[in-house]
Structure 1
Amino acid sequence: MEIFAVGLNYKTAPVEVREKLAISEDNYPDILDRINRIPTVFESCILSTCNRVEIYGISDNPEESYSDILKILSSYSGLKVEELKKHVFLYTDKDAIRHIFNVSSSLDSMVIGEPQIVCQFKDSFTKARELKTVKHVMTRLFDKAMNVSKKIRTSTGISKRAVSISYAAIELAKKIFGDLTDKNVLLLGAGEMAELAARHLASSGVKHIFVSNRTFEKAVQLADEFGGSAIRFNKFFEFLPEADIIIVSTGAKEPILRKEHFKNIDKERHGKPVFIIDISVPRNVSDDVNELENVFLYNIDDLKMVVDRNLEERKIAAESAKILIDEEVAKFDRWLKQLQVNPVIAKVRNYADEIREAQLERLFRDMPYLNEKERENIDLAVRAIINKILHRPTMYIKDRATKENSEVYINIFDEMFSSKWDLRRKLKSEKKGKKSEK
């Protein structure tokens, strides 16, 4: 049996294909059940996000499973199988394990190191477990994938560097102020990036958020989200002395904040710094504001430089992460291959137990004077002897299971303990056969 990964993502398929295959909450149980009913599939799980739809599972014939999964995806999406084949990949064995580890660690994400995939990955497994489509091997695989993800994030710091404009702004604010819990924020305008920055600031525990927008109702709505206060747009200048952090994102065609607006507030603020983030295009804050002492102005190009630098650092961290993933893939592959010889090892141990039980039964029948404790000690001694004798061949076959041509060694080991070599039992069977003929 092999681990497989079948699916498509932002690298292999355009958004118009991905959106047709996106699996909703309502359809998830039915699609997963249909996949798990494929005769060659023994365990399965679906990861469906805006950037990928991927099926992970265990199969004794991945190629056949791939064909059947394509048919299911075709009937669900309305896309023809031939069209899907252009975009849907199949990974097996180590390639599948590596891909799953890359996904869980966000190395395969559009933005390397983004944290959302970790939650999405956990949720996909939780659903599969609730629907009872994953068992021992997939549970072990997902546990290992989450462990690898955590190890990469802590050892490489791949997710610590901001790679969004809004989050880069918060990172800079923390460099200037350190703790943000006693800081007031003034949000001018309600652009998407400014709103995201305010949301990040709110989660950082800032003291209060003031929102001012030309459409006052929008300011009220946004302020309510953050537990803040709405300000009429023609009144926001009155609140400049209160603001430690100012986020500007309006549709103005020229600057609405100039040097003269801050000249008179320095005394009121007693020299406390002001951090201004101008995310507007065109810019809404004039450059000369930066000439003032205790005023720090950053525009979208400044933030983009931070983001680009952090992206490069994440790419460097990703290279280190790939080395770690290669090590973890090798370990899991070794465990999986050793798992496949467990039935043969169990068969050998059962054979040894049968011999032990038969011999002890004969011994205790010939020595009826032995008490319970003495019988127990003899049994323990025999078990210990069997374990020591079987230890070397067990380690040998487990090691061979991870090497090339492992099937040859496993078959020899299996046949070595086959009942056909029990000549005494065979002779007894033949004698019984001759008696019955008479």
Structure 2
Amino acid sequence: MSLLVVGLSHRSAPVSVLERASLPTDTQIKLLQDALAAEPVAEAAVLATCNRIELYADVDKFHAGVAELTTLLAQHSGAGLDELTPYLYVHYEDRAVHHLFSVACGLDSMVVGEGQILGQIKDALALGQELHTAGRLLNDLFQQALRVGKRAHSETGIDRAGQSLVTFGLEQLAAGRAVEDWAGGRRALVIGAGSMSSLAAATLARAGVAEIVIANRTAARADRLVQILNQPGGTGVRARAVTMADVGAELTHADIVVSCTGSTGLVLTAAVVETALQDRAAPQALLDLAMPRDIDSGVHRLGGARLMDIESLAEASADAPMAADVDQVRTIVSDEVAAFGAAQRAAHITPTVVALRAMAADVVSSEVARLEGRLPDLDDRQRAEVTRTVRRVVDKLLHAPTVRVKQLASEPGGAGYADALRELFDLDPQTVAAVSRADLNDTDGVGRGRV
């Protein structure tokens, strides 16, 4: 295993840098394709959220891998290499596994314990599978990360330590009041119809807002979200869809505005918000969950408006209380990292063991054939008994060494046992490689439908 991750997040970089380095989906695709074409990279996956950008890869050389991944991130992001480098972090092998498992559990999130990151990890895996840039290592890694994250949420109270970024943002806007009391009966404008905007709309509906207006560039997606919100037996909220051209007019009537689009430019300028405020008697609360930002930071200076964006949420989350369950989650992560490393090291020797047993089976077949030539008078029953006896002897001789070598290989530093086994039994490297390729094809066929 030569797992490498190079990335930056809200913990390592200011929001202004994260904003410039954001990766739209089409850019992520090109990044993965270019990463897989790079010489030291065998597999690649990218995890890009509103507060982190990470490139995972299976590499054959550490230093060359770091240099290549760093260069690729700079080339495909909006930040130059000189600007990006001071904020990058690098994790290798077990440390990289530990990092992703911690991320999956919400320990590295802006709001500790939030569960939305699991969906984002699942999306990252799906993209790598779709583009065939994620092979056995990254498939195993990301699928196990999802299981570890789900285990942390089911076995501990980590959910009590934090919420989704949407809920946290609304709580900050509510300024100490219960979100339901603060939002109840108000009008809300949600700009965007993706996963984060849909979560915001659903959260506002449960909080009791009177009306939700959905604005999106693709009318069909906005209409679909409106249908979900208006379905019978729901929260009772009135929902309707508008075009992006109608946002300025709707802004005047909105008490709460949530924006999260994939736009690379501003969706709401300070001038547009200021114009809307002139026709309002009541103050307006705005929540910008986009990266790069949708709402002009100049709105912070407008009277009658309160804006919470990724930067101000990061500052607020630094003072958020930590639950005691966090320590329990950290223990889960440490145990799971050790188990994953052991499983990967053990899997590394499996093709060699399979090749050894195949060689032994060929030897048995050859010797039985030779025996039949020397003893042509053996009947079928006698021949079958001799064959079974020889096979039992070989199996018993190989059983203890192969079981023990798998155990030894699963321990730290056990990677060399496969090489020793190949050398001792003079196994053909091409045969071992063929077993590995066949096993990988079987794994890929199953792995894509597992999560």
| Cα distance change on mapping 1:211 and 1:25 into 2, 3 Å | closer
> Post-superposition shift, 1:32?
0.3
Contact 2:23 2:77 in 1 (8 A): no
Q: What are the superposed Cα offsets for residues 152-194 of structure 1, whole Å, 9 maximum, x if unpaired?
A: 000013125664264799x9799x9xxxxxxxx95145599xx
| Cα distance change on mapping 1:188 and 1:404 into 2, 3 Å | closer
Contact 2:10 2:110 in 1 (8 A): yes
Partner of 1:312: 321
Contact 2:187 2:210 in 1 (8 A): no
Higher relative contact order (CA 8 A, sep 6+): 2
Contact 2:41 2:65 in 1 (8 A): yes
Aligned to 2:158, the other structure's residue is in SS state coil
Partner of 1:243: none
Partner of 2:14: 14
**In 2, Cα distance between the equivalents of 1:122 and 1:225?**
23
Partner of 1:358: 366
Contact 1:187 1:212 in 2 (8 A): no
TM-score (norm 2): 0.62
Asked if 1:395 is matched to 2:407, the reply is: no
Partner of 1:385: 393
* AA matched with 2:350: N
Partner of 2:195: none
> Post-superposition shift, 1:381?
4.1
Partner of 2:185: 187
- Map residues 289-328 of structure 1 onto 2, 5 A cutoff: 311-314=320-323, 316-328=324-336
Structure 1 unaligned spans of 5+: 177-184, 214-220, 231-247, 254-280, 283-306, 421-438
Partner of 1:416: 424
Partner of 1:53: 53
**In 1, Cα distance between the equivalents of 2:159 and 2:86?**
32
| Cα distance change on mapping 1:9 and 1:251 into 2, 3 Å | farther
Asked if 1:342 is matched to 2:350, the reply is: yes
> Post-superposition shift, 1:57?
2.0
* AA matched with 1:342: T
Partner of 2:147: 147
| Cα distance change on mapping 1:319 and 1:21 into 2, 3 Å | same
> Post-superposition shift, 1:346?
3.2
The alignment covers a number of residue pairs equal to: 330
> Post-superposition shift, 1:115?
1.9
- Map residues 6-405 of structure 1 onto 2, 5 A cutoff: 6-77=6-77, 79-160=79-160, 163=163, 164=168, 166=170, 186-188=184-186, 190=188, 199-200=202-203, 202-203=205-206, 210-211=210-211, 227=230, 228=237, 252=282, 311-314=320-323, 316-370=324-378, 375-376=383-384, 378-403=386-411
Q: Which has the larger radius of gyration?
A: 1
* AA matched with 2:203: H
TM-score (norm 1): 0.64
**In 2, Cα distance between the equivalents of 1:197 and 1:43?**
35
Q: CA RMSD in A?
A: 4.1
Q: What are the superposed Cα offsets for residues 60-88 of structure 1, whole Å, 9 maximum, x if unpaired?
A: 21221110122222222354434332112
Aligned to 1:26, the other structure's residue is in SS state helix
> Post-superposition shift, 1:226?
5.1
| Cα distance change on mapping 1:25 and 1:361 into 2, 3 Å | same
* AA matched with 1:85: T
> Post-superposition shift, 1:12?
1.2
**In 2, Cα distance between the equivalents of 1:172 and 1:378?**
81
**In 2, Cα distance between the equivalents of 1:26 and 1:212?**
30
| Cα distance change on mapping 1:24 and 1:374 into 2, 3 Å | farther
Contact 1:43 1:58 in 2 (8 A): yes
Structure 2 unaligned spans of 5+: 191-197, 214-222, 231-236, 240-254, 257-279, 284-302, 305-315, 429-451
Aligned to 1:27, the other structure's residue is in SS state helix
Identity %: 27
Aligned to 1:340, the other structure's residue is in SS state helix
* AA matched with 2:185: L
